[in-house]
Structure 1
């Protein structure tokens, strides 16, 4: 009878897929379905608000535009006048400073520097005639040679003074040698300043300004100076030089005077040797400077044309020639 109690038209339980245990487990669970899930649950957020950190207040205050206050025309004019007065005072101060410097320059040498050679005391009536400063005016690579030329000139002056003393001693022993003593005085008076002006100062100015003309002038004059040194070292009797020949001539008559003259002859020999060495040194330095004979001619022509004395002489000659020509033309017309 059990078979008749079943409904033949009912769906079998085994054919219903929703009666599967896995499906029924899911449908009967307490988990909310996806379509009913709320991602923002309504839980309290007061506790989070209590833990929030407030933003730090900035120490800088926001810029506030201030109303622009334009100065009045009277204030602008007063400020401009004060500025002009200040500029005028500054210009007057600078003008006074320039006048003072110009007076100082005019009171100095033509080179714009106060002369310091020869080093004479300020109370001395004669003032220095030249300005000389190796460290300031001479380039570093030429200072050694230039100083050696200066020391050679000083050594030459000392030798001339000793030669005068030797000739004086010789004159005291033999009054017939008065001419040698007189010539020794002449050589000291003549050669000491002339050697300074004719070959030392030209080589100093040549190294200072890299002047080809001064180099050539120095070489011409110093060549004759070397010849003079050699003649003084030789010591021809009666020429006022205590050289080797004069020393050996007198040593047989008076040994003391002969010994003094031999010392002076040694000094003249040292002068001759040093002059030859320094001449070669200056020539080697001259070749490094790039000087030439063409540059010397240009410097000479420029110096002559820029010389005020030459300009005045040329102007006077031109004016006299023009006046004479005009006078001749006037007489010819008459």
Structure 2
């Protein structure tokens, strides 16, 4: 049975609003939530970027049932992996076992701000692999001394660890990263409905000693629900045209200004072809179908635009979830 999630999109909403939306998402019946972790919005029109970890601490306290995950945190530049390990351990205690640590190799948009440049993809994956090893070691409760290529730890130990292990999900971008990270992560995050990647991931995981079966695979689908389709298309174009460039572009552009310049030729109708817009819930169900058929166990919806979040959660989310679950049977 597919699980359906709600996205706490830090790029388009403030921290108090995001906590309120998480509570509403739990009440309406979403199965889980995911939260972006950015230093900057993709486009200036989105207008926000609060600190994800601070906000998630409040979400852990305000909700009771809703599992949630970072989608995703980069533990290699803006954060040292030792800090991410501590943040994740504390958050899992506050969440009483509902938290999943989602990790990825990052985007220039968020990581360049610490003034260390932006490495190539091979170095980014090497850094991520080493960071995951560091986080795993610290979550064991042992005192860690580490002298690696990218990170050093001197007698580092976490003093507050949760009783429940912290599942670790990793965002992959192609066959090489699938093969590499399936051996070290528990779950996969993928930005497109790639059935081959899902199949390869599960096959590698099944060969791992002690594996307990297929792992969780999470994807994300943007939607622009509104009672008026033209309004929904305008909002999707204004705030989500950045997504049309694909991951190779999106991971390397450095600023909202750069994303604005790179998407000047993207038309509203181009966005509407890729993102379901308007009041038709069946169109959203149909857009979910390729993800489900590709083998995704978890699909998170992104309702575009802060101005329609409360109305979406109050009026559309319940009937939409019912339709999605009915189509899943």
Query: TM-score scaled to structure 2, two decimals?
Result: 0.19
Where is the helix percentage greater, Structure 1 or Structure 2? Answer: 1
Give the greater-gyration-radius structure (CA). 1
Query: TM-score scaled to structure 1, two decimals?
Result: 0.19
